[in-house]
Structure 1
Amino acid sequence: MGKTRPTHWPMSQFPVVDDCLWVGGMPLTQLAARIGQTPFYAYERRLLDQKMALLRGALPPAIELHYAVKANPMPAVVQHMAGLVDGLDVASLGELRIALDSGTSPSRISFAGPGKRPVELTAAIAAGITVNLESPGELETLARLGQEQGRQPQVAVRINPDFELKTSGMKMGGGPKPFGVDAEQVPALLRRIGELGLDFQGFHIFTGSQNLRAEAIVEAHDRSFELALRLAAEAPGPLRLLNIGGGFGIPYFPGDRPLDLAPIATNLERWLPVVKARVPQAQVVLELGRYLVGEAGIYVAEVVDRKVSRGHTFLITDGGLHHHLAASGNFGQVIRKNYPVVVGNRVLGAERETVSVVGPLCTPLDILADRMELAKADIGDLIVVFQSGAYGLTASPTAFLGHPPCVEILV
């Protein structure tokens, strides 16, 4: 008995023993039996720890790492990540509760996102966390609620820069955006923060996500530091927080290459003395989500039927886009590519075939793998979708067509 990896999908970090995927130190079939139902998501602590160790070893020690809870808000995952990172970023009242329940100090929690409701701002003030302001209107509401509570809100300004992160999966800054305050409007907002007497912490600049090009991230960091240092001169107090966002991507598709951290680390090392000289109290933060958890998770569904239609074989599973919208192609809104998929209990499989893996929903968009070569599978076999640790279950239309809920487990 020996451990190998699927030769047709080298990105998987889950070992294979006797042609069965191992997860959490046990065969996938055994894990599935313990859970007692499919579909399910499984996230592995070992891989979460490995990714954090990789980052800590590559980046300058002075850089703080924060986890964006939105990437995977499963309470057990957040609890585990809270022990590895320097802070948490939340985007809703629900995520704030999970973050606080993790034992993370409120001083290490920030709250970002447009359209924060008064109840969310009230809770943020009461908890003593930092609110990343997204608009002048939000500032005024926060200040009023702070007065009503007799508390001084902690605030940072989320800046919508006049540049973007090139080649990113989603562009979060540059041009007209619902996120953050346009860079040219920030000086006026900073003056108003001073007039209102709020506890100013610093800046949050988030330009994009899911980027595999180190040179694009380096350029975005250069421009983010330049912008932040320029605007720091207008601040109502010392800059204590400089969150330059994340954008670090993970490989999903054949041909993708893992992000090279070395140029990013070298550039950060170059900038840190400059930042220290200009804004000596500022802590530089990288806020990451997908990069920390995305590769540590799998989605598992069981084959419930096998059929041939006009010469093409379909494996029909009990899972699909209602649990894993991203793997299905986001309701057809993007050019669909196959996520890495294997038959979890026949990973290498001497007998192979080209099939489509689909779910039980009444839509042709319910596809987990389209015309993909897999080991020959039958009813009862387990289909595994890799790279599923981020933006999986909570980013999917779980109520669509009323199918049973999906289980999540941290192993």
Structure 2
Amino acid sequence: MNSAAPIHADINTFPIANGQLMLGGIPLSQLAQRVGQTPFYAYDRQALTQRVLDLRKNMPAELKIHYAMKANPMPAVVQHMATLVDGFDLASAGEMKVALDTPMPAAHISFAGPGKRPQELSQAIAAGVTLNAESFHELNTIAEQCQALGLNAKVAIRINPAFELKASGMKMGGGPKQFGIDEEQLPDALRLIKALDLDFQGFHIYSGSQNLKAESIIDAQKKSLQLAARLAEHCPTPIRKLNIGGGFGIPYFPGDTPLEIGQVGKALGEQMAATKHALPEAEIIIELGRYLVGEAGIYVTRIIDKKNSRGQTFLIVDGGLHHHLAASGNFGQVIRKNYPVAIGNKMDFAEHETVNIVGPLCTPLDILADKMALPKAEIGDLVVIFQSGAYGYTASPARFLSQPDALEILA
């Protein structure tokens, strides 16, 4: 999307002092000196803390909040989140290792993913992590691993519900999906769990992500609770854990309206009360990644060249899509839109110009800003991309063209 507007002021929540963006109380230029290089990602621990506090204030008191580590598995971030949330949700054995290095008890950690390897299943069983099983074959493999280890496995079933999370960025439920076991197959799956004598925990129902519409999330949460209540009679033991997913989005682009979290929390409290009789022992869990960390991070890259081509100005920076695929528009966007961008050491600079910000890669896809009006920048200035705390570095092709790595810090 071409934009003649400067940084989306409604999205930038970091303070500014003497023309410098501040993160963790440190001016950006000083922070860059402390890091020792560009590009880098920086995450603000106070912003992470405040987001969880605000969420708890708006959610039912008995609700458990889990952090989906796939959003940002940086060890320092995960360590910090372990002090704030009630549990972790994993997508790999690599993430499990990071999680188990924190104070978070294994009993509060779950592991989802449609293609878990036997070795990963074995590791999770040995650790005492709950496995969200996603197929009949996986249930049988879990049982085989249990027999080999002489241990039992904590197992929940990930359900592919018949409904979807409407207006979500990525739909992960409803229709044919690689995720979970189809809702209509659940009675058979529950009978298999009983026959295999696995330690049944409950259900995981994740139907979509990046949703800014409270009504859509409320509808999906209501249907998830109702579905679990209907299935309760088929379960080998009472449901102890019910993960109803997340899907809470954050604003990225002009016109995006932040999610009305209070509206979601009020409705969820009413729904949980309505299903308490059917699910008396169930711990209700929401699983959030992007919503918890996305707005707490920035990506910082330095201008290394500036040139004009047929009337357009290009700022060439030392970072690009290999570090931040999402900001380049190549991570799920149908029509490319600019992330919120600023010249972080010239936040109060009055003179503006319309520029394209591109990375150093030999591909026309390496675009970080397309025709944006920004403070007039020169070689050496620092470009900041906001909303970069989730699905940033680890969601990008860091080895592409063998460019130097970015660093990550928690400030």
- Paired residues of 1:275 and 1:282 also in contact (CA < 8 A): no
Q: Deviations over 1:107-136 (max 9, x none)?
A: 000000011001100000000110000000
Q: Deviations over 1:384-407 (max 9, x none)?
A: 000000000000000000000110
Q: Whole-Å Cα distance in 1 between the matches of residues 403 and 222 of structure 2?
A: 47
Counterpart AA for 1:38: T
Q: Whole-Å Cα distance in 2 between the matches of residues 156 and 275 of structure 1?
A: 19
What is the SS of the residue equivalent to 2:65? strand
Counterpart of 1:205 in structure 2 is 205
Q: Whole-Å Cα distance in 2 between the matches of residues 403 and 105 of structure 1?
A: 38
Query: What are the equivalent positions in structure 2 for 1:110-259 lying under 5 Å apart?
Result: 110-259=110-259
Q: Deviations over 1:168-209 (max 9, x none)?
A: 000010000000000001110000100111000000000000
Q: Whole-Å Cα distance in 2 between the matches of residues 394 and 348 of structure 1?
A: 32
Counterpart of 2:376 in structure 1 is 376
- Structure with greater contact order relative to length (CA < 8 Å, sep ≥ 6): 2
Aligned residues: percent identity?
Answer: 62
Q: Whole-Å Cα distance in 2 between the matches of residues 198 and 151 of structure 1?
A: 10
| Residue 332 (structure 1) shift | 8.1
Counterpart AA for 2:343: V
Quick check: 326-335 or 338-347, which moved more?
Answer: 326-335
Counterpart of 2:298 in structure 1 is 298
Q: Whole-Å Cα distance in 2 between the matches of residues 45 and 262 of structure 1?
A: 23
- Paired residues of 1:331 and 1:365 also in contact (CA < 8 A): no
| Residue 334 (structure 1) shift | 2.2
| Residue 274 (structure 1) shift | 2.4
Q: Deviations over 1:325-377 (max 9, x none)?
A: 00001168621000000000001311100000000000111011000010000
Q: Confirm whether residue 35 of structure 1 aligns to residue 35 of structure 2.
A: yes
Q: Whole-Å Cα distance in 1 between the matches of residues 218 and 348 of structure 2?
A: 39
Question: For residues 310 and 70 of structure 1, do their structure 2 counterparts lie closer, same or farther at Cα, with a shift above 3 Å needed?
Answer: same
Counterpart of 1:107 in structure 2 is 107
| Residue 222 (structure 1) shift | 1.2
| Residue 262 (structure 1) shift | 1.9
| Residue 103 (structure 1) shift | 2.0
- Paired residues of 1:332 and 1:365 also in contact (CA < 8 A): no
Counterpart of 2:320 in structure 1 is 320
- Paired residues of 2:69 and 2:78 also in contact (CA < 8 A): yes
What is the SS of the residue equivalent to 1:131? strand
Counterpart of 1:46 in structure 2 is 46
What is the SS of the residue equivalent to 1:278? coil
| Residue 275 (structure 1) shift | 2.5
Counterpart of 1:23 in structure 2 is 23
Listed as ranges, the gaps of 5+ residues in structure 2 are 1-5
Counterpart of 2:3 in structure 1 is none
Q: Deviations over 1:62-100 (max 9, x none)?
A: 100000000000000000001100000001010000000
Q: Count matched residues.
A: 406
Counterpart AA for 2:176: P
Counterpart of 1:266 in structure 2 is 266
| Residue 323 (structure 1) shift | 0.2
Listed as ranges, the gaps of 5+ residues in structure 1 are 1-5
Q: Whole-Å Cα distance in 1 between the matches of residues 307 and 135 of structure 2?
A: 54
Q: Whole-Å Cα distance in 1 between the matches of residues 44 and 359 of structure 2?
A: 25
Counterpart of 1:3 in structure 2 is none
- Paired residues of 2:7 and 2:340 also in contact (CA < 8 A): no
Q: Whole-Å Cα distance in 2 between the matches of residues 242 and 69 of structure 1?
A: 18
| Residue 11 (structure 1) shift | 1.5
What is the SS of the residue equivalent to 2:88? strand
| Residue 244 (structure 1) shift | 0.2
TM-score by length of 1: 0.97
Counterpart AA for 1:354: T
Counterpart AA for 1:184: E
